[in-house]
Amino acid sequence: MVPSINAAGSSEVGKVRAHNEDAYLIATLQRSMAVHDSSLSDAANRWFASNVLGTLLVVADGMGGHEKGDVASQMAVRTIADYALNVMPWVTQQAHAQPQGFQGNHETLTGIRTQLSNAVLTGDANIRQASGGTQSTLKMGTTLTLAYVIWPRLYVVHVGDSRCYLYRLGQLSRLTKDHTLAQQIIDQGYPGVDASSHLHDMLWNSLGGSDELPSPQALRYDLCQGDVLVLCSDGLTKHVDEAQLLATLATRAAPKDLCRSLVDQANAAGGTDNVTVVIAQVELR
């Protein structure tokens, strides 16, 4: 059996903001070769491609109140895509991960989390350079949450308060932790911070948004048939709680329809921020 990942995304400005500072990417990694000329009669002007070797999902939320948040989010996503394509040894990693007769070896792939974290740090460096260095008064910045699937493994790397969820067998699990001051206070055992507190909007971890280098959260999980991944910006989670998200995913609708439904729910509840949702369903065929 080989995995089939059906994915879709949606991103909208919402009801309040003037423009959309979110960005997202859904991509498959595939080893390929374009033959421009050959003495072989069946090779010239052909494109040879292998099966899909990996899937990359990315959501970035340009930081509101900063200059060019949309530029920062797009730059971060492009950097991740470029790094995954041109730097990470994903072709050889996949070959080693699934030898002939592969029966579900769940050993981790060497260095993947480190490589993905380095991709995030590269994105931070590119944003800092574009915004004029760390001494700039106003720095463009962004969150970034990515999921990298090399069946049966899922790698998640995360900075900021966008989120990644896993839906499995009727249960919803949040895989990432918000890198906000509110969450820090909660983690330290103090009484819960009111939902309306501005501390929920204050990030201690981001790309390009402060003088501090980002500290990526890098995680690994094992996927199962029927799993559903959800990546989203906080424009969704401000208005759609986890109970609503769970109920929507339980309908088992197509990813495109699920994204549309969740964006509509966020907008109907106020749409105070840009809202971006990426959903991927994992099936075996």
CATH number of residue 69's parent domain:
3.60.40.10
> Is residue 277 within 8 Å of 263, Cβ to Cβ?
yes
Q: Give whole-number Cα distances, 265 to 15, 241, 242, in Å.
A: 12, 10, 12
Helix (H) or strand (E) holding 247: helix 242-249
At residue 285, does pLDDT exceed 80? no
pLDDT for 162: 97
Neighbouring-strand partners of residue 171:
168
- The pLDDT confidence band at residue 227, using thresholds 50, 70 and 90, is very high
Compare 214 and 88 and report the one with higher pLDDT. Answer: 214
What is the share, in percent, of the chain residues with pLDDT greater than 90?
Answer: 59
CB hemisphere CA count around 229 (13 angstroms): 34
> Dihedral of the CA atoms 155, 159, 161, 165 (nearest 10)?
0
Q: Give the type of residue at 43.
A: A
The answer to which of 3-12, 26-35, 126-135, 264-273 has the lowest mean pLDDT is 126-135
Residue 181: how many CB atoms within 10 A of its CB?
17
pLDDT tens track for 71-86: 999 999 999 999 998 8
Q: How many residues does the chain have?
A: 285
Task: Encode 32-63: b = buried (16+ Cβ within 10 Å), e = exposed.
Answer: eeeeeeeeeeeeeeeeeeeebbbbbbbbbbbb
| Domains in the chain, number | 1
Backbone angles phi, psi at 9, to 5 degrees: -145, 160
Using the Cα atoms of residue 222, residue 229, residue 91 and residue 73 in order, give the sign of their dihedral: negative
Domain that holds residue 145: 3-284
User: What are the tokens at 185?
Assistant: 């206070």
CB hemisphere CA count around 86 (13 angstroms): 6
User: What are the tokens at 88?
Assistant: 């990470």
Q: Give the type of residue at 203.
A: L
End-to-end CA distance of the chain: 6
- The pLDDT confidence band at residue 137, using thresholds 50, 70 and 90, is very low
At residue 58, does pLDDT exceed 70? yes
Question: DSSP characters for 56-87?
Answer: EEEEEEBPTTSTTHHHHHHHHHHHHHHHHHHT
At residue 183, does pLDDT exceed 90? no
At residue 136, does pLDDT exceed 50? no
Helix (H) or strand (E) holding 236: helix 234-237
Compare 196 and 176 and report the one with higher pLDDT. Answer: 176
Q: Give whole-number Cα distances, 218 to 129, 131, 147, 225, 227, in Å.
A: 24, 26, 10, 23, 20
pTM of the prediction?
0.88
Measure the CA–CA gap between 53 and 29, rounded to whole angstroms.
6
* Cis preceding-peptide flag for 216 (omega within 30 of 0): no
Measure the CA–CA gap between 171 and 94, rounded to whole angstroms.
29
